[in-house]
């Protein structure tokens, strides 16, 4: 689709990709480990995929979760596939920490504190290296 932002741009800082999907780090200052797994072609829903593609995409979501767990050691991982604003199939994989601004609320819920969880300056490099070794 010509007006789809996920068809026309990476959707974040590219960490890994193949011909089927890509993983990007979202520009979310309060959540520096907030990743998206984005299908490379324009599809709205999981049921628009054939079963093998659904499995392949969910396997990448799980690998993304594992990369975040290995690199960031969060207290919890949140997974979401919304697409109400951008109806292009993508999954949010969000590390959660007890000291993040919204915990235990959803990241889109009421903010409970002002500080973000501290992360290393080379987080992108660590995540990219973990993807390259896992995938």
Domain at 5-134, CATH homologous superfamily:
HIT-like (3.30.428.10)
For residue 135, is pLDDT > 70? no
CA distance 117 to 115: 7
pLDDT at 118: 81
CA distance 15 to 1: 24
- Phi then psi for residue 55, to 5 deg, are -65, -40
pLDDT at 1: 58
Ordered by start, the domain boundaries in the chain are 5-134
For residue 120, is pLDDT > 90? no
pLDDT digit string, tens, across residues 24-48: 999 888 888 999 999 999 999 999 9
Please state the pTM of the whole predicted model.
0.92
Average pLDDT over residues 101-118: 88
| Helices 123-134, 51-72: inter-axial angle, 10-degree rounding | 130
Mean confidence (pLDDT) of the chain: 92
pLDDT digit string, tens, across residues 79-102: 999 988 889 999 999 999 999 999
For residue 50, is pLDDT > 90? yes
CA distance 109 to 125: 29
pLDDT at 30: 86
């Amino acid at each position: 689709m010509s007006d789809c932002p996920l068809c026309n741009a990476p959707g974040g800082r590219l960490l890994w990709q193949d011909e089927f999907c890509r993983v990007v780090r979202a520009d979310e200052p309060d959540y520096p480990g907030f990743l998206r797994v984005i299908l490379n072609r324009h599809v709205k829903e999981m049921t628009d995929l054939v079963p093998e593609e659904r499995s392949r995409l969910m396997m990448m979501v799980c690998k993304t979760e594992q990369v975040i767990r290995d690199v960031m050691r969060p207290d919890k991982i949140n997974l979401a596939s919304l697409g109400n604003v951008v109806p292009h199939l993508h999954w949010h994989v969000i590390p959660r920490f007890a000291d993040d601004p919204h915990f235990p609320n959803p990241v889109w819920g009421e903010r409970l504190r002002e500080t973000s969880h501290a992360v290393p300056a080379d987080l992108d490099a660590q995540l990219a290296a973990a993807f390259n070794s896992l995938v």
